[in-house]
Structure 1
Amino acid sequence: MFQTFAVTARPDAAPPRVAALRDWMRSTDLDAFLVPRADAHQGEYVAPRDERLAWITGFTGSAGFAVILRDRAAVFTDGRYRAQVRVQTDAETFERVDWPATTLADWLSEAMADGGRLGFDPMLHNVREIEGLQKLEAVELIASDNGVDAIWSNRPDAPAAPMTAYPEELAGHSAAQKRAMIADVLPRDNVAAFLTNQPDAIAWLLNIRGGDIARTPIAQAFALIHADGKVDLICDPTKADPVRDHLGPDVRVIEPAHLTDHLAAQEGRVGLDPATCPVALAGALAHPVHMTDPIALPKACKSDAEIAATREAHLRDGAAMVRFLRWLDQDRPGDAAEIDVVRALEDFRRKTGALRDIAFETIAGSGPNGAIIHYRVNEETNRPLGDDPTILVDSGGQYLDGTTDITRTIALQQPPGEIAHAFTRVLQGMIAVSRARFPVGVAGAHLDALARAPLWAEHRDYDHGTGHGVGVYLGVHEGPMRISRPSQIPLAPGMILSNEPGYYREGSYGIRLENLIVVREAARIEGGDDRAMLDFETLTWVPIDRRLILPDLLGPDERFWIDTYHAEVLARLAPRLDTADRDWLVAACAPL
């Protein structure tokens, strides 16, 4: 299996590790030290070698950070992880801080009111992050060695998986065309080159993939893109050896040991994105220029070939999901537990013959575990399905032609009316986003309220974004666009996003529904204004559990959307299924 269920971090390991870190701090004359959940590439997922936050605290979520002082310590997490961090961290060692409601700067201004020296690893913190801390007049920021690395015995080795070439027919553009596209915009910012530390950007730019990070097919690397279209690729040369011919003569491979010297030797102005570039790399440049990453938007706006490929990936994945849902509904053993659900779903995806990896660790939360937004089942938390009324399953697959991400909340028995009521409100939010039509220039922040309005009307909400960007055989979470309150990036044709409102009653149940959607130009409506408009094409075709829908809560347009969606699911997936699965799908897609 791709996914395993061993317990990888424990709260009781934290006290001696924190004590060892404090000894190191005293030896280096530091009063505090920052431990982010980050590596030098500032991505969401990190290699085992870079799981410093989990190692020192026990918290395994994908976002957060800790600060260790000589007499107190805190772990900062957002709303997605409030329940998880309480379970995974030692309350006597760590304060649990609700972030970003309380910022690190605000917390430090109280915790270090008398001043002190705050250490940080300059390869793990971006320029903007450290600039935000410089307003702390009493705190002296010290770029230092990494104290966690200094005390972590048996730390895993750096990943070194070989790179592979990504087919041009799936990418839609050659690597040379992409390099030229980015090079053409560099003069606009009056720079001779742009520095990126983003492996997914490099993978897109050079039409390569890798295996350095589980679940995300990227190779850890840095790159300088020059205004003449040539690229300096800084990575372990053995990783690049299999793709030397593919990269061609305009891509030069440089040893990572020479990274800072190579940057220091650049005579011209070099652009960097302060939101992602590590402080150490920015400091190595003689003439750094802060600018917006020129790769982010071209990567986000998928080519016609990428969209066509990902449509096929979603149909393949949708058929596997139907087989899984029928198994869950009709064939699962009476003593099945959450791990059995995860194993079964991965097996159905494997049987497609096209699965390269899962897109992330499958979330399968039965009953109260469904209320833990990013729940990951392990051998200790594995909950028998038993008498739980529902299970939340959030999962995805990595296929060469696309990345999928789908969530369904499924009835295990006739659910209480309260759950069906909440489910229907969440469904209304997903429908509202799916049906949205909006002018060019609208950002994800403007659409986020559509998904929440049915819940807001009942004094309810959820503590995660409504949607994130998704790559094509790349990251299941991809920027810069989102459907969330902070997102000001205008949506543009070709952007693939998730649409995933939810509702969570801690200790009782969780509900989330998720389809992937892609932005497209909207067809004109007779009588409408003469202005450009956008809407969404749905990519995910899997039935929504009708047993959890209360039709009387829905308006006519919402009922029509559901019946039309299910008719499309049946039409698209039935030819891919055997008789038993097809018969089940017919019943699951019956009109309301």
Structure 2
Amino acid sequence: MNVNEKIKALRTEMKRIGVQAYIIPSADAHLSEYVATHWQGRAYLSGFTGSAGTLVVTETESGLWTDGRYFIQAESELAGSEVQLFKMGQSGVPTITEYLANTLQEGSCVGFDGKVLAASNVLEMLKTFEPKKIKVCGEHDLLDSIWTDRPAIPSTDVFIHETKYTGYSCADKLNMVRQEMKKSNLNGYVLTSLGSIAWLFNVRGDDILFNPLVVSYALVLEESAYLFVDSHRLSDEVTNYLTTNGVTLKEYDEIDEILASSVVSGRILCPLETVNYYLYHVLVNHEGAEVVAGFDLVNNLKAVKNETEIKNTHNAQVKDSCALVGAMQEIYEKLDAGELVTEYDVREILEVYRRHQPLNYGSSFGAIVAYGANAAMMHYNPTKEKCSLIEKKGFLLIDSGGQYLDGTTDITRTFVLGELTEEEKIHYTLVLKGHINLSKAVFQKGCSGGNLDILARQPLWSHGLDYRCGTGHGVSYFGGVHEGPQGFRLTQTVPLQPGMMTTNEPGVYEAGRHGIRIENTLLVVEKCATEYGEFYEFETISYFPIDTKAIIVEMLNDEELAWFNQYHQKVVETLSPHLTGKALEWLKREAIQLSR
């Protein structure tokens, strides 16, 4: 079936259960950013393959809501279908809730699978729908009726992330969580976020592409802890580790039974942003439990890396940078020799070099290898069947990263392959200036990424330019490459703390022309303490040359030029002991000093 035929089949199912609209988000039962194929219903129905977006189907219309990273891609992939693109955050574009409230008749019903929508989203809908008496129904997963070859929920083997990598045992971390629970007088805490569960229980798996996570639920009580994961996935070693650390094991689908039982009582933390509506509904109807809305405790704990995690991450970053040097040396050599190289070929070469590094566990996401105008699509995804041939002119943008037992990496460089326009050089230099401004920031304790985001945007704003996304995101530790609650975004309010890692990736994206991004990972460290308070700064922990061939040196001030040269010196000093031959020659050739 094509997109329109699938939507027609969905409408038949909607009529059968009596709903006038149906919502299909990009999430799984754990509200993950990256989801296993079983939950990729939005992509299956709409044809839009980006990682973020929500499809809404009414009796007569259908719309796809996505953010600025995907506007260009979505317009291309939705072409020819009935699905209308709603550009989130743009003037005059309604939110999904506003659209439904304005479009549906009084007394209508909105359907969805309650396991894939956050409780907070549904509660917001109910409040907005109240004047028109619009109801919601979260009982039906209609995808099962029309997706005949739907993949099963993943169920890979679980393994333990050893203490030599994590710094703390599962029991240690459970104690940390219980200390946080006491501060808010909590008797229990429901966890559904896969990244939080992986960190807390030191478990990993291969359930989601690029994310070493385990499909599971968890419940922490004052004297006990439950991990809900299918037992056939656990070896004796894993079972022994968890039970020895005070964990009671239950099957994955027993979560609702336990939440509704007498085991759960008192004040139970249920983070509305991360717990799905189905489980929230179970808890809120439990007479012995008081649902406490709040934030995910583990999300905040794991964001601040401990000494072991920081040390290991440095090692992972060095290995990853060496892999990237080797890969780029080979790619340039092939291009110089006149060989045909596609974007997909570059992705494959990157995979090979990372795989050869010690403790590598694959890529941290599908590498964005975008040549020329393709780079204007922030999350462009080349495939073997659909990719561009790389020529020796213009820009090649590569955004990639690796998973290692000792850390997760994410880095972007825009490479100069040949002749550039004056506009391309100006835009590249402005992006670099913004990147440097944020990298060398010194800020007072209590500042958030929202306070600092403007530093990266200011050079672009001064030329009437901007980018439709945040400037950076938190980076996990052998987990999902994107991590909260920290980040660089104008609306970000979470204070930055020493030990937090956040990417710094301003860019320019001009549709049909070019895309430019420069990204490093920053570690928040202490700077000094004075009578005016505590001050922090950033340590750049990504080590790879920034292409100098597009830089208009005259546009850099003395401080920016000094930062750039110091960074290149650090790159050479850090990587040289680990490289030999052509790779080392390439590094020294690229990591040069700039002068006026």
| 2:34 counterpart (27, 45, 53) | 45
Match of 1:237 among 231, 236, 256: 231
Question: 1:180-579 alignment to 2 at 5 Å?
Answer: 180-228=175-223, 230-241=224-235, 242-249=237-244, 250-265=246-261, 266-285=264-283, 286=286, 287=289, 288-332=291-335, 333-386=338-391, 388-523=393-528, 529-579=531-581
CA drift of 1:91 comes to: 4.5
Shift of 1:187: 2.5
Q: Report how far residue 94 of structure 1 moved.
A: 0.6
The 10-residue stretch of structure 1 (248-257 or 170-179) with the greater mean CA deviation from structure 2: 248-257
Instruction: Describe the SS at the equivalent of 1:349.
Output: helix
- 1:523 CA drift (Å): 3.6
CA distance in 2, matches of 1:328, 1:447: 36
Which amino acid in structure 2 is aligned with residue 302 of structure 1? K
Q: CA RMSD in A?
A: 1.4
User: 2:56 aligns to what SS in structure 1?
Assistant: strand
Cα deviation digits, residues 411-461 of structure 1 (max 9, x gap): 111322211110110001110111011011101111111000000000000
Q: Is the 8 A contact 1:189 1:291 kept in 2?
A: no
Aligned equivalent of 1:167: 162
* 5+ residue gaps, structure 1: 1-11
Contact 2:205 2:213 in 1 (8 A): yes
When structure 1 is superposed on structure 2, of 131-140 and 540-549 the one drifting more is 131-140
Structure 2 counterpart of 1:566, one-letter code: H
Which of the numbers 146, 151, 171 marks the counterpart of 1:151? Answer: 146
Letter in 2 for 1:297: N
Q: Within 2, Cα distance between the matches of 1:247 and 1:92?
A: 49
Partners of 2:229 and 2:252 within 8 A in 1: yes
Structure 2: distance between partners of 1:388 and 1:379: 22
Among residues 586, 589, 593, which one is paired with 1:587 in the alignment? 589
Contact 1:570 1:586 (C-alpha < 8 Å) held by counterparts: yes
**Identity level (%):** 32
SS at match of 2:85: strand
Deviation at 1:380, TM superposition (A): 4.1
Matched residue, 1:8: none
For the pair 1:75 / 2:70, whether they are aligned, the reply is: no
Displacement of 1:388 in angstroms is 4.2
- Write out per-residue CA displacement over residues 548-573 of structure 1, whole angstroms, 9 at most, x where no aligned residue: 11100000000001100000101111
AA matched with 2:440: R
Q: CA deviation at 1:369?
A: 0.4
**Could you say which residue in structure 2 is the equivalent of 1:107?**
99
Using a 3 Å threshold, how does the CA distance of structure 1 residues 322 and 175 change in structure 2: closer, same or farther?
same
Please, which of 126, 129, 137 is the counterpart of residue 121 of structure 2? 129
2: CA distance between counterparts of 1:351 and 1:284? 47
Query: Following TM superposition, by how much is the alpha carbon of 1:329 offset from its aligned partner in structure 2, in angstroms?
Result: 2.5
CA-to-partner distance for each residue in 1:357-406, whole Å, 9 max, x for gaps?
A: 10000100000101100000023431011254111100000011010100
User: Contact between 1:492 and 1:519, CA under 8 Å: does it hold in 2?
Assistant: yes
CA drift at 1:143: 2.0
More deviation, 175-184/453-462: 175-184
Task: Give the number of equivalent residue pairs.
Answer: 577
Cα deviation digits, residues 232-270 of structure 1 (max 9, x gap): 111111223341111124101112232211101123221
CA contact (8 A) 1:498 1:514 kept: yes
User: What amino acid maps onto 2:75 in structure 1?
Assistant: R
Per the normalisation by structure 2, the TM-score is: 0.95
- SS of residue in 1 equivalent to 2:234: helix
Q: Which TM-score applies when normalising by structure 1?
A: 0.95
C-alpha displacement of 1:354: 3.2
- Residues 23-102 of structure 1 correspond to what in structure 2 (within 5 A)? 23-101=12-90, 102=94
Return the alpha-carbon distance in structure 2 between the equivalents of residues 575 and 180 of structure 1.
41
Counterpart Cα distance in 2 of 1:513 and 1:90: 31
3-state SS of paired residue (1:586): helix
Q: Give, as a single letter, the amino acid of the residue that structure 2 aligns with 1:271.
A: L
